[in-house]
Structure 1
């Protein structure tokens, strides 16, 4: 079972977050989101994408919305259609979009209008190295990141990859919003530890809402 951040990571104080970043503890209701994720995955199944160099990413991915983030030998980009099915990505469910818009407003970014949601599925032992969300057409809109399932350690880096990141514990239902001065900070996820969530099993899911197109 997944628990609270203090139960799983020790009773440590929350680290100070950079300007432009907010952590909304328990803001998302996983009970409402679970069936929506299942429907998205049925239409556009999770898959392991590869980088331009041919390396397989550790997290399985899918998308919903007007476009979806993809990577292959051609590099990182957004596509209107799922390259595996040649069909449009599933529409972004209204409750998911409403959650992202509300979270952005709570974090100080009113008028948020996401057009895509990248969904990562992390198995036990999977993580993601430090990277920027920099494939979008504009960076005035924040990124809204929703954690579901198993807990993880979100790494908050700096403006360069060499900056030592600070760990931030995230658990089921937590939402991290980063925009403004934090929009292009490097960030990542430490490998997910062994566990089992009552609703999502041995996985961590991350919903990343973005405004990909100008």
Structure 2
């Protein structure tokens, strides 16, 4: 079994690679490979799409790799287990609304990515650092993770799914902020599991052993 982490020049993937490789070894979950090759994605058993920066820039980075968007669309439609992280999660939705311009996402989970607007003006944007999960759905990728567990964020935007059933975890930051979304064989986290210590490693292990 092979899990691919897609490299499209959106952030340093070293910590993600190491965390996924560690959990794959500990749970006998096969190989983890960082790749920008669409053919490797076509052959993969699991797909991880990270992302750091602006929604539109990340989408443009994927579009710039010939065949990558097409193979992603095909494999997700076929039911390949998929994990989006940070902007990789935001791209799962229909639309990114950043900096006064709209950018198209994949539309796998209907909804949009919008700016965080805390009720408390003292709360700074970006939302950066540790936060406690406030609500957690019953989902195999969240097994063993509960309200109060700490996860690590760096972001100014979050996803608002159209269907509340697709919202799987939230944190509070002057109001509810989406922490995880998903449906079918897709799962996405706004936080960085590779930076979230024990909670993040548990989520990574859950994804690598998930059999949807």
- TM-score, normalized by length of structure 1? 0.29
* Structure in which a larger fraction of residues adopt helix: 2
* Structure in which a larger fraction of residues adopt strand: 2
- TM-score, normalized by length of structure 2? 0.29
